[in-house]
């Protein structure tokens, strides 16, 4: 599953931080962009299992979600992904889940119907913060 490989990458980054900073306990904040459509329950389970398997039980990872917002480059209209997702079929939504940049092939501005828009926020997954405890 996609969520498991992302969780492994997060754990690897936190482990690297701990190795460089000689810490045994740390806390990380991970942001999940809505456009990536990561299943938060699966992602949390993967983090828990990977941390336990790697004997990193003193590492805490908090998850934040960020709404995806688009802005049309033609008319300037802004809208959110949750509004658009309702009109997508399951396979198109799945493609966007794996490769968010393909959203331009499946999403149009609700106001002027242009496919020329920017993703203002809510794309991808990133580590917002890691700190030693």
Tens of pLDDT, residues 47-96: 999 999 999 989 999 999 999 999 999 999 999 998 888 889 889 988 88
The 3-state DSSP composition of the chain as helix, strand, coil percent (nearest 5) reads: 45, 25, 30
Give the model's pLDDT for residue 4: 95
Q: Per-residue pLDDT averaged across 19-37, rounded?
A: 94
**Residue 89 three-state SS:** coil
What pLDDT is recorded for position 86?
86
Helix-helix angle 2-21:40-53, to 10 degrees: 50
17: pLDDT strictly greater than 80: yes
pLDDT at residue number 24: 87
Per-residue pLDDT tens over the stretch 100-111 = 889 999 999 999
pLDDT at 31: 97
Name the domain count of the chain. 1
Neighbouring C-beta atoms of residue 71, cutoff 10 Å: 15
pLDDT of 1 reads: 57
The Cα 70–Cα 66 span in angstroms is 13
> In this structure, what DSSP letter does residue 55 have?
T
Domain that holds residue 100: 2-132
Cβ-in-10-Å burial (0-12, 13-18, 19+) of 5 comes to: exposed
102-107: list long-range contacts, CB under 8 Å, 24+ apart: 103/35, 107/70
What SS3 state is found at 93? helix
* CATH number of the domain residue 68 falls in: 3.30.2320.80
pLDDT at 10 (0 to 100): 97
Regarding predicted confidence, which is higher, 36 or 30? 30
């Amino acid at each position: 599953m996609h969520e498991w490989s992302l969780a492994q990458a997060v754990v690897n980054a936190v482990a690297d931080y701990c190795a460089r900073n000689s810490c045994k306990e740390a806390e990380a904040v991970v942001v999940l962009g809505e456009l990536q459509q990561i299943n938060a329950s699966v992602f949390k389970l993967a983090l828990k299992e990977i941390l336990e398997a790697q004997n990193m039980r003193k590492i805490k990872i908090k998850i934040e979600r960020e709404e995806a917002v688009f802005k049309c480059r033609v008319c300037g209209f802004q809208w959110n992904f949750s509004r658009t997702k309702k009109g997508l079929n399951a396979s198109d939504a799945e493609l966007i889940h794996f490769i968010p940049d393909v959203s331009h092939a499946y999403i149009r501005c609700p106001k002027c119907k242009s496919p020329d828009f920017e993703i203002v926020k809510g794309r991808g997954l990133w580590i917002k913060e890691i700190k030693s405890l």
